């Protein structure tokens, strides 16, 4: 059966961990930013983003190149996890990359605000660079990348098992349950045939009792 849709990444995208991280990310950025301490809210956003972004990127890769992803699942998953991690490292340790990120995010906001102003008939907004607060301690959130890796690998294993089970006929499934008992019986017979026989025991007359070892 030919897989369709996001066969490799759908399990990770719809997993409760991913959905909870997405909800936490939205609630934290829109509600908790002004109430809680900046250190806590910043780390929550970092962890949630590192859980959601690799999973979404993995889904985008499968959507754009499904055959490539299905042939090289682990490589695609590794790239999906490495890109957000390298981005976090670059933003915290590289000033040029931080400037590029501020321009890109500011440009995206400018386009969105311009479209809204054009549709509503308001004044065009000004282009403003996005504001960032580099914090080296944000690198402590990088272990969160283990979650999307585990989710993606788990979904790939489940897909492989489903494909294997779909190719078995009812007779194959019934026979596979009896393979273990058949192998055990055959192993016992082979062990008995291969067991060494004592010479005195083998040459004992038929009418006399066999001598013990």
For 102-158, how does the pLDDT look when each residue is reduced to its tens digit (9 = 90+)? 889 888 888 988 898 888 888 878 888 888 878 888 899 999 999 999 998 887 677
Nearest to 111 by CA among 124, 101, 98: 124
Domain presence at residue 179: no
Residues 28-82: tens digit of each pLDDT:
877 777 676 666 778 888 999 999 999 999 999 989 988 888 888 889 999 999 9
Band (167; pLDDT cuts 50, 70, 90): low
Q: Which residue has the tokens 């990120």?
A: 101
Domain presence at residue 103: yes
Q: Residue 76's domain spans which residues?
A: 10-164
Domain presence at residue 156: yes
- Phi, psi torsion values for 183, nearest 5 degrees: -65, -40
Domain presence at residue 207: no
Domain presence at residue 19: yes
Domain presence at residue 185: no
Return all residues near 206 (Cβ < 8 A) that are at least 6 apart.
Answer: none
Q: Which helix (DSSP H) or strand (DSSP E) does residue 189 occupy?
A: helix 170-194
Quick check: 131 and 99 in contact, CB under 8 A? no
Nearest to 74 by CA among 146, 152, 143, 1: 152
How many domains, in total, are found in the chain? 1
């Amino acid at each position: 059966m030919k897989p369709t849709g996001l066969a490799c990444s759908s399990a990770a995208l719809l997993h409760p961990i991913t959905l909870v991280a997405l909800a936490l990310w939205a609630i934290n950025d829109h509600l908790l930013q002004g109430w809680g301490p900046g250190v806590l809210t910043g780390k929550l956003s970092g962890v949630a983003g590192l859980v959601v972004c690799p999973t979404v990127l993995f889904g985008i890769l499968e959507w754009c190149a499904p055959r490539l992803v299905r042939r090289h699942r682990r490589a695609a998953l590794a790239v999906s996890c490495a890109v957000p991690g390298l981005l976090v490292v670059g933003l915290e340790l590289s000033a040029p990359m931080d400037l590029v990120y501020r321009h890109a995010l500011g440009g995206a906001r400018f386009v969105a605000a311009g479209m809204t102003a054009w549709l509503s008939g308001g004044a065009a907004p000004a282009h403003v660079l996005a504001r960032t607060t580099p914090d080296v301690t944000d690198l402590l959130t990088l272990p969160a990348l283990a979650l999307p890796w585990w989710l993606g690998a788990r979904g790939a294993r489940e897909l492989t098992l489903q494909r294997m089970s779909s190719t078995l006929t009812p007779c194959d499934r019934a026979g596979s349950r009896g393979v273990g008992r058949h192998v055990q019986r055959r192993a016992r017979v082979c062990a008995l045939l291969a067991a060494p026989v004592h010479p005195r025991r083998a040459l004992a007359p038929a009418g006399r009792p066999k001598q013990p070892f």
